[in-house]
Amino acid sequence: MTIILKAQNINKKYGRTPILNGISLNVEEGQFIAIMGNSGAGKSTLLNCISGMDQPDSGKILLLDNELSRMSNRDLASFRAKNMGFIFQDFRLLEDMSLLDNLLVRGYLKQSKSDALKQANDLLDKVQLLNVKNHYPSQLSGGQKQRGAIARALMNNPEIVFADEPTGALNSAAGKQVMETLKFVNVELKTTVLMVTHDVRSASYCDQIIYLSDGKILGNLTLDYSKNISDINAFLSQKGW
Ligand SMILES: Nc1ncnc2c1ncn2[C@@H]1O[C@H](COP(=O)(O)OP(=O)(O)OP(=O)(O)O)[C@@H](O)[C@H]1O
């Protein structure tokens, strides 16, 4: 398997408080990883650092052998837009644009208008939102917004998608549909996904759980068909969840 993302010895403090303490991890192409851990463990900070949204104090992050800290701000912004997709708890769709235009804005960064339009329609079809593509975000349910945000993240075929609590603002039915969509994206569209979640059910869709505590990795659990929710709960409680 090809390792597409490497984080090596990542350290990060806010003020004098250490938040990430020597984190190293590799992400293989095609993996679907959940980062879990108690509130304040540093999960979002880790996601932000390895996706170039925030800068670690020390350590290296390489995506496809490109070292993020060696890039100028401008190059990093363009590299992120072309190679990474982002999904947030609060969706972050542009409210004054239709769903379709939300996807096209991202598509135009890397493709011709006609190719972007074709890809946007294709992705909206895959996440079952073609019938509402001209709706504005305020006209969509939370689950529809998040599936739209997933489609947006996939425009331009990113190498990796980062999701921070993608089901955090959704009820359980909408959350299930979003996780099924992310699983489809991972398995059928062969996209690597790294997700932060508090939700055990959401984590059960992944193939690996990394447990973070006080800014360190305490262990990980590989999930396969033999594992179920009670195995995940046992792993989490053993780590101090
Ligand atoms: N910009 C910031 N400035 C100062 N402290 C911060 C900042 N961002 C996060 N922190 C602190 O860093 C610690 C880790 O925060 P982080 O959001 O990474 O944790 P988390 O594991 O994602 O928590 P949660 O599950 O509650 O979202 C917390 O104590 C938080 O208060």
Task: Kindly report whether the global pTM for this prediction surpasses the value 0.90.
Answer: yes
Pocket of ligand 1 (CB under 6 A): 14, 19, 37, 39-45
pLDDT (tens digit per residue) in 47-106: 999 999 999 999 999 999 999 989 999 999 999 999 999 999 999 999 999 999 999 999
Within 10 A of 213 (CB to CB), how many other CB atoms are there? 17
Mutate to test the pocket of ligand 1, among 11, 13, 16, 19 (most ligand atoms within 8 A of CB): 19
Q: ipTM of the assembly?
A: 0.96
Which ligand 1 atom is nearest residue 47's CA?
18
With a cut of 90, say whether residue 225 has pLDDT above it: no
